[in-house]
Amino acid sequence: MLDRLLGQRYRVVQALGVGQLAKTYIVEDYHRPNRPKCVVKVLKPQSHYPEFLSTAKRLFHKEAEILEQLGQHDQIPRSLAYFEENQEFYLVQELIEGHTLSLELPLFHCWSESQVIQMLKDVLQILEFVHSYGVIHRDIKPSNLMRRKKDNRLILIDFGAVKQISVPRIKTNGLITSQTISIGTQGYMPTEQVRGKPGLFHSHQPENKFSVLYLKSV
């Protein structure tokens, strides 16, 4: 794969990682001055069963659509291009220079209270923006949070598991629920995801002006 030209534009210079549905590479953009580097995610399904391929393609298309919307936030990688070639799918994203939060959390190392509070403030304001678009990430973990080198801010990456929240169904007991697919990483998944019963729970009290939204699948 190294040195391969993708889409007659992006030359692969380094492998980044392998996921359940895709591989990621650092590439050089030969159509821009100085050949800036960016990230390409390649969908290469391991199965050719029609149902599996359909799901994989749907997730990949959805990631491209969502990143196009969410990329306007400074702490989410921008979507630069999306194309299909030789029955493979390619998503081009902004390259974030830095390191993952995993490197800041070695075994048996504890953060101070102020560090934890600052991290939560940084991450939660990103999630607030993501949720405003009716989207949940569903795989929040240290390896999906990048510490950007230029300003030390946290960047939320890898939206391969996202799913737009569907229109909820109202139940007679006053709760509104919307089912989702169980996706995530062991050790970071909420209880209902581990049990294979993920869901979005919306509690509403008629006497209140605002309702409370519980994104339990994040």
pLDDT digits (tens, 9 = 90+) for 49-91: 788 778 777 877 887 888 899 999 999 999 999 988 887 889 9
Q: Is 139 a catalytic residue?
A: yes
pTM score, two decimals? 0.73
The rounded percent of the chain whose pLDDT value lies above 90 is: 42
Residue 213 covered by a domain:
yes
Q: Where does a domain end: 66, 94, 122?
A: 94
Q: Which of 3, 122, 139, 151 is catalytic?
A: 139
| pLDDT confidence of residue 213 | 30
Is 15 within the bounds of a domain?
yes
Q: Does 80 reside within a domain?
A: yes
Name the nearest CA neighbour of 24 among 60, 52, 73, 57. 60
Residue 114 belongs to a domain:
no
Higher pLDDT, 18 or 25: 25
- pLDDT-derived band at 201, boundaries 50, 70, 90: very low
Judged against a pLDDT cut of 60, whether residue 214 lies above it is answered with no
Tell me the C-alpha distance between 39 and 94, whole Å.
6
Q: Which domain holds residue 67?
A: 5-94
pLDDT for the residue numbered 114: 95
CATH, residue 58: 3.30.200.20
**CA-CA-CA-CA torsion sign (46, 49, 50, 52):** negative
pLDDT at 187: 60
Residue 68, both tokens: 């196009």
Residue 12: per-residue pLDDT = 97
- Domain assignment of residue 120, yes or no: no
Phi, psi (5° rounding) for residue 148? -70, 130
Among 47-51, 100-104, 131-135, name the one with the lowest average pLDDT: 47-51
Asked if the structure places residue 204 within a domain, the reply is yes
